[in-house]
């Protein structure tokens, strides 16, 4: 019986149309049953069989019958006519109703979980109007509501199944505006009961969690947010009841919390219980107010939303007064989530027309959006001041600031606020402790986000005001002067304070460089860094701490951002030497880091963080700089500058230090490697050809692995690189076959002859790629024919004899009766093709 049920489930789960969905995701996908199976699904005994098996089989087996019913519920709608679908759905709902009547087997977690999935699938595949038309719908929806309420209160039992119950109610409520059935949907009766059960079950669970030290659902913020997203839709059904309930609970708990906070030696557990209960209420209120974005609201609902917002703002004022002495991290995270929902609410067009500010002004003195933004930014400053040791709160606070400063309209409003001007003028560790040199590494990661937001706000109306820009940079200037003394002028190994200052500065400057999209502002930053001689400080730091990725990674990422020609900020001014100067500094950094890291012995389990990650960023720096079209690479050779030669030599040594298996094992490494190769092959293929033979052979081998990769992006980019390289080889061979004067015109040098010799010696590598590409055409599901066809043609033209023997081998391997057709197909492939590598010929 176990094997029969597994077989049935696997048949019902089979991917009949090759949609290749992710098996790990419960997407509520339709089951594309073959039409030939239709009679089995029209027979009511089929559904009844699985419901009967559920009632008859013991726990452990019965869940498999429900799993089969889950799949049968999702059978494609087109399998039935309208009347047949109604009968099928009626049988399903009746079967569900019968299980809910006596709750048979639902004390088993597996049965319970699969049954919750079955309920969710009911709405995913059927319209609310169709469910309402089922004769037993009133009884079934009452039982489903009762079951949901019981399940929410039994929060310790199968907590992961709640998602499916909330999905059912979310989808049903979302469908209400589209229902045309004259019969009542009854959701107005039962949805408030579900919302009430969710709210009260979360509040009631807190004392038990604190007392018995149980696992707190609030620790899993992903699950909490997922449930709140579902609840935000459910709550808007009979919204007045939801608001009354929330106000009632919130007022009681906030009053108790305020009273307890005034007692000097109150019981810490009592305080914790109230803080966690308020945490749940703040999260739920946030979900309630953001739900307004999906519906049309009335004046009455605007007032209700305002009343909810006011209560949380009053709580924020209360908790902030306690911050120097005490605070609750979970409650603060809930408040930040709430403020983010307020941000979404006030930034929508609907909120601009809403009457919520009238009520906010009456009770809290916030008369318009500008005053609300001012309140939110005061909260941001408070958090950055008092929660410097809480990475989750600092990170979430800075994410809120980043979201607020993301769009032009928001920045325009924010730039006028006193709170924003305060941050722009006082971004020091004295005011914001997380900017200090004694911060932890996790806290320092937040600094990039902070300076990105400040950069957006600063750039809004900066224009060409250099004085204002350099005043903003004063705190960073002070740090550079300290580092210049410690790193550049004193002997001995620097202390941790200097090391942390380097890490912090690199993160700060990377954050600041990100939003500098205009050429004028970017130039001001670069000239400050270059002409103040601050960049050599970073080079010295990398030399000292090359073994420590905590230092090298932020510095390398900073340079990757500086050399990035974002929105053409580095190009356009032909008289400016910035591009050349920047590339020289970046090249020095790569050479220093590369020479140090090549001498470093690293254990294999630390290979990526200690070595490969840094090398990956070096590839990114090279790709951003050489692919930005602001560096005229020919100028280096013209003036005898060996910058480019040095950095390409280091590149060759770095790639040879990476095992080819490691290259494909780490996606970020392979992406940066292939992206840089693509840049070299497109714009600087001559430099690729000038690499030492071992490095060029290594590149060919990695391309061989790339075109065998299952990852489509890797396959496509490797085909592009290969096309550029073999096209260059083909053209050089054509030049080689011409007369001497023509060779001289085309600068056919000894280096080119040497390169072609390397290609000749390693021709089997290119021939194997020809074989692989052809094999992909013949035997694989070739989804990238355009990309693959480019190098395939050039390889055929390069190795015509090999291609001919390969073709004959393939033809002779076919059954005799199929060989003439195969010959014809190979002839058609090359019909009309000329012996050149022009785009037109490749297209043909």
**Considering the domain boundaries, does residue 489 fall inside one?**
no
Q: 31 - beta bridge partners?
A: 75
**Per-residue confidence (pLDDT) for residue 781, from 0 to 100:** 67
Nearest one of 450, 155, 148 to 280, comparing CA atoms? 155
**Per-residue confidence (pLDDT) for residue 327, from 0 to 100:** 87
Q: Where does the pLDDT of residue 442 fall: very low under 50, low under 70, confident under 90, or very high at 90 and above? A: low
Nearest one of 655, 657, 705 to 680, comparing CA atoms? 655
**Per-residue confidence (pLDDT) for residue 724, from 0 to 100:** 94
Contact criterion met (CB below 8 Å) for 673 and 718? no
Last residue of a domain, one of 137, 155, 185: 185
Report the alpha-carbon distance of residue 507 to residue 446 in Å, rounded.
Answer: 8
Give 247's contacts (C-beta < 8 A, 6+ positions apart): 307, 308, 311
Contact criterion met (CB below 8 Å) for 370 and 307? no
Last residue of a domain, one of 154, 185, 216: 185
Report the alpha-carbon distance of residue 519 to residue 570 in Å, rounded.
Answer: 6
**Considering the domain boundaries, does residue 495 fall inside one?**
no
For 132, the domain range is 1-18+26-185
Q: 75 - beta bridge partners?
A: 31
Locate 26 and state its tokens.
Answer: 């419960």
Q: What is the pLDDT of residues 133-143, one digit of tens each?
A: 999 999 999 99
Dihedral, 401, 403, 407, 413 alpha carbons, nearest 10: -40
Question: 31: helix, coil or strand?
Answer: strand
Report the alpha-carbon distance of residue 53 to residue 690 in Å, rounded.
Answer: 73
In this predicted structure, the answer to whether residue 520 has a pLDDT above a threshold of 80 is yes
Task: Work out how many domains the chain is built from and give that number.
Answer: 2
| Mean pLDDT within 329-356 | 79
Task: List, in sequence order, the alpha helices (H) in 667-707.
Answer: 667-683, 685-689, 693-706
Report the alpha-carbon distance of residue 125 to residue 694 in Å, rounded.
Answer: 59
Contact criterion met (CB below 8 Å) for 558 and 551? no
Q: What is the pLDDT of residues 194-216, one digit of tens each?
A: 999 999 999 999 999 999 999 99
Contact criterion met (CB below 8 Å) for 162 and 224? no
**Considering the domain boundaries, does residue 30 fall inside one?**
yes
Report the alpha-carbon distance of residue 590 to residue 592 in Å, rounded.
Answer: 6
Q: What is the DSSP letter of 355?
A: S
**Considering the domain boundaries, does residue 8 fall inside one?**
yes
**Considering the domain boundaries, does residue 787 fall inside one?**
yes
- Mean pLDDT value across the chain: 89
DSSP H or E run through 835: none
**Considering the domain boundaries, does residue 307 fall inside one?**
no
SS (H, E, C) 239-256: HHHHHHHHHHHHHHHHHH
| Mean pLDDT within 503-518 | 93
Dihedral, 770, 771, 775, 777 alpha carbons, nearest 10: 20
Q: What is the pLDDT of residues 525-574, one digit of tens each?
A: 999 999 999 999 999 999 999 999 999 999 999 999 999 998 888 887 77
**Considering the domain boundaries, does residue 81 fall inside one?**
yes
734-767: buried (b, 16+ CB within 10 Å) or exposed (e) per residue?
A: ebeeeeeeebeeeebeeebeebbebbeeeeeebb
Question: 75: helix, coil or strand?
Answer: strand
Q: What is the pLDDT of residues 261-314, one digit of tens each?
A: 888 888 889 999 999 999 999 999 999 988 877 777 777 888 888 899 999 999
In this predicted structure, the answer to whether residue 363 has a pLDDT above a threshold of 80 is yes
Q: What is the pLDDT of residues 43-80, one digit of tens each?
A: 999 999 999 999 999 998 999 999 999 999 999 888 89
Report the alpha-carbon distance of residue 281 to residue 204 in Å, rounded.
Answer: 12
Total Cβ atoms within 10 A of residue 623: 22
Task: Please tell me the pTM assigned to this model.
Answer: 0.87
Which conformational region is residue 95 in: left (phi greater than 0), alpha (psi within -120 to 50 degrees), or beta? alpha
In the chain, pLDDT over 70 holds for what percent of residues? 95
Last residue of a domain, one of 166, 185, 204: 185
Burial of 4 (0-12, 13-18, 19+ CB in 10 A): exposed
Contact criterion met (CB below 8 Å) for 396 and 336? yes
Report the alpha-carbon distance of residue 450 to residue 388 in Å, rounded.
Answer: 13
Contact criterion met (CB below 8 Å) for 109 and 117? no
Q: Determine the angle formed by the axes of helices 763-779 and 750-761, rounding to 10 degrees.
A: 60
**Considering the domain boundaries, does residue 101 fall inside one?**
yes
Query: Tokens 């053209």 belong to which residue?
Result: 731
């Amino acid at each position: 019986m176990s094997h029969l049920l597994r077989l049935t489930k696997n048949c019902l789960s089979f991917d009949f149309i090759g949609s290749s969905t992710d098996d790990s995701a419960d997407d509520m996908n339709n089951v594309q049953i073959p039409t030939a199976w239709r009679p089995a699904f029209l027979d009511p005994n089929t559904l009844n069989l699985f419901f009967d098996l559920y009632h008859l089989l013991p726990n452990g087996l019965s869940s498999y019958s429900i799993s089969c019913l889950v799949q049968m519920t999702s059978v494609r709608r087109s399998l039935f006519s309208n009347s047949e679908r109604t009968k099928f759905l009626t049988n399903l709902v009746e079967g569900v109703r019968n299980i809910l009547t006596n709750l048979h087997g639902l004390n088993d977690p597996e049965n319970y979980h699969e049954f919750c999935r079955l309920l969710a699938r009911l709405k995913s595949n059927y319209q609310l109007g169709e469910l309402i038309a089922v004769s037993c719908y009133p009884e079934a929806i009452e039982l489903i509501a009762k079951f949901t309420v019981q399940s929410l209160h039994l929060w310790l039992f199968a907590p992961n199944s709640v998602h499916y119950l909330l999905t059912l109610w979310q989808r049903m409520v979302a469908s209400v505006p589209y229902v045309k059935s004259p019969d009542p949907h009854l959701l107005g009766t039962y949805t408030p009961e579900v919302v009430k059960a969710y709210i009260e079950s979360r509040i009631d669970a807190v004392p038990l969690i604190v007392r018995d030290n149980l696992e707190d659902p609030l620790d899993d913020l992903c699950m909490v947010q997922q449930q709140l997203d579902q609840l935000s839709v459910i709550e808007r059904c009979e919204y007045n009841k939801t608001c009354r309930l929330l106000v009632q609970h919130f007022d009681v708990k906030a009053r108790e919390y305020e009273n307890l906070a005034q007692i000097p030696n109150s019981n810490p557990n009592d305080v914790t219980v109230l803080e966690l209960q308020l945490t749940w209420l703040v999260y739920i209120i946030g979900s309630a107010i953001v739900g307004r974005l999906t519906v049309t609201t009335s004046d009455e609902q605007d007032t209700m939303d305002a009343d909810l917002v006011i209560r949380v703002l009053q709580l924020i004022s209360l908790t902030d007064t306690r911050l120097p002495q005490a605070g609750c991290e979970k409650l603060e995270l809930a408040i930040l989530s709430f403020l983010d929902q307020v941000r979404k609410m006030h930034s929508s067009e609907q909120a601009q027309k809403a009457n919520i500010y009238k009520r906010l002004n009456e009770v809290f003195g916030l008369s318009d959006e500008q005053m609300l933004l001012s309140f939110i930014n005061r909260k941001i400053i408070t958090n950055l001041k008092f929660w410097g040791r809480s990475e989750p709160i600092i990170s979430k606070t800075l994410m809120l600031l980043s979201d607020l400063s993301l769009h032009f309209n928001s920045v325009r409003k924010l730039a006028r606020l006193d709170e924003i001007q305060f941050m722009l003028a006082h971004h020091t560790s004295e005011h914001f402790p997380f900017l200090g040199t004694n911060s932890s590494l996790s806290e320092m990661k937040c600094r990039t986000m902070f300076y990105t937001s400040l950069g957006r706000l600063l750039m809004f109306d900066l224009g060409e005001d250099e004085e204002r820009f350099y005043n903003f940079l004063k705190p960073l200037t002070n740090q550079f002067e300290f580092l210049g003394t410690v790193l550049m002028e004193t002997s001995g190994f620097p202390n941790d304070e200097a090391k942390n200052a380097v890490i912090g500065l690199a993160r700060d400057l990377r954050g600041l460089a990100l939003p500098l999209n205009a050429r004028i502002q970017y130039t001001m930053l670069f000239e400050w860094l270059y002409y103040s001689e601050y960049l050599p400080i970073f080079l010295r730091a990398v030399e000292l701490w090359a073994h420590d990725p905590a230092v090298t990674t932020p510095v390398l990422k900073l340079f990757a951002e500086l050399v990035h020609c974002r929105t053409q900020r580095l190009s356009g001014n032909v008289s400016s030497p910035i591009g050349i100067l920047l590339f020289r500094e970046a090249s020095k950094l790569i050479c220093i880091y590369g020479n140090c890291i090549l001498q470093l012995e690293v254990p294999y389990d630390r290979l990526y963080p200690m070595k490969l990650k840094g090398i990956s960023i070096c590839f990114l720096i090279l790709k951003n700089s050489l692919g930005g079209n602001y560096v005229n690479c020919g100028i280096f050779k013209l003036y005898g500058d060996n910058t480019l030669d040095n950095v390409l030599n280091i590149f060759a040594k770095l790639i040879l230090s990476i095992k080819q298996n490691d290259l494909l094992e780490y996606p970020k490494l392979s992406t940066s490697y292939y992206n840089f190769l693509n840049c070299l092959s497109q714009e600087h293929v001559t430099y690729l050809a000038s690499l030492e033979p071992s490095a060029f052979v290594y590149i060919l081998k990695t391309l061989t692995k790339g075109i065998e990769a299952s990852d489509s992006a890797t396959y496509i980019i490797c085909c592009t690189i290969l096309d550029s390289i073999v096209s260059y080889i083909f053209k050089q061979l054509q030049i080689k076959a011409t007369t001497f004067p023509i060779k001289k015109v085309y600068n056919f040098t000894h280096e080119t002859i040497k390169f072609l010799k390397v290609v000749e010696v390693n021709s089997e590598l290119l021939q194997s790629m020809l074989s692989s590409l052809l094999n992909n055409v013949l035997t694989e599901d070739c989804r990238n024919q355009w990309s693959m066809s480019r190098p395939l043609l050039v390889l055929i033209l390069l190795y015509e004899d090999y291609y001919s023997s390969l073709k004959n081998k393939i033809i002779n391997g076919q059954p005799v009766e199929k060989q003439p057709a195969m010959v014809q197909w190979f002839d058609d492939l090359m019909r009309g093709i000329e012996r050149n590598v022009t785009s037109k010929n490749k297209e043909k």
